[in-house]
Amino acid sequence: MSVQTAISPAASTRPAHPPTLFSSYTLGNIVLNNRIVLSPMTRSRAIEGNVANPLAATYYVQRASAGLMITEGTQVSPQGVGYIRTPGIHSPEQVAGWQRITNAVHQVGGTIFAQLWHVGRVSHSDFHGGELPVAPSALPVEGEAFTLNGRVKIPTPRALETSEIRGIVEQFRKGAENAKAAGFDGVELHGANGYVLDQFLRDGSNRRTDAYGGNLDKRMRLPLEVAEAVAGVFGPSRVGYKLSPYFAGYSMSDSNPLVTFTTIAAELGKLGIGYLHVSEAIAGPAKIDSAVRATPSIRDAFDGTLIVNDGYDAAAAEAAIARGQADLVAFGKPFIANPDLPLRYRKGAPLNAPDQATFYAGEEKGYVDYPALSH
């Protein structure tokens, strides 16, 4: 008489060990080696014509052990420029410059997305031949622009005509086409930090009375049209969208951010985009009770991949992933100073300290000269 080992139903369906920061992850049809993301960070080192600096090939190759790298904000048109020495992706020279970088990254097995960017009103006439920056509404903006003439006050922008808005969609669509031609694996739409997509979404910056302003459905129209157009180029799974629910710089505000951002998260989910990248401080937004953090509600509203960012260290990132609060975690300043950040986190090794004086502009110093661990 044979003896069989009984297996309880509970045991047969028990989940495997929870994932860690170093577990692989499948984003659409891309397999990422780990769940560490290089956050997009402006470094202001582009060369003439807003072409990506050849040094950027070294910069991104040094950091290619990240599961996913997202480039610095890359403007989709001359109209989208708002900072000195930031790269674009709207001219043949810019596309060729980025192609050299993506080729170098792919040769070492890295995965890299371009962050598509239009600053809207966060700009200055110096960048636009004396013309005012554009925005959903002609509202004053607190803050300064960084131009070749130094820091200058951001002027009150001009409101886009309804007939011009389709052109913004086209700029992003063309930017996606150029990113694809340059060899990027996908793109992230910069819908955060007070730039043009964020400006249209929030009622503090959008006071329009046409089809692109007023209630939330109308304020979401431009961001969703842009997302749909770009998804038509790369396929939805290769498109991400960045959100910053409580960002308050550049006079940004919203009367009900929790509703606004969970609603657009759900609508972007209906388009099938690959991920949302949410920038929200781990301890809760400044002066906002942690109980109203938007990230948990966005997690519930969006079925795709969630990247979290802002204030995470290795332990906090591990905890967020293990608890299912996020799928991937993006790191900014630690990755500037530690090109081999995944290895350092895996080994529990000390981190280089970032040199804030070299974050923006300059050449090699503070860009490609941070030491890696000795092998």
Active centre residues (catalytic): 195
Q: How far apart are CA 23 and CA 189, in angstroms?
A: 26
The answer to whether 181 and 175 have CB atoms below 8 angstroms apart is no
Which helix or strand (DSSP H or E) is residue 328 part of?
strand 328-331
Q: How far is CA 259 from the centre of its chain?
A: 21
Name residue 337's amino acid. Answer: A
> CA-CA distance, 32 to 333, in Å (whole number)?
21
Count helices and strands in the chain by DSSP H and E runs: 12, 14
Q: Report the phi/psi class of residue 132: left, alpha or beta, with left for phi > 0 and alpha for psi in -120 to 50.
A: beta
What is the C-alpha to C-alpha distance for residues 199 and 205, in angstroms, rounded to an integer?
Answer: 5
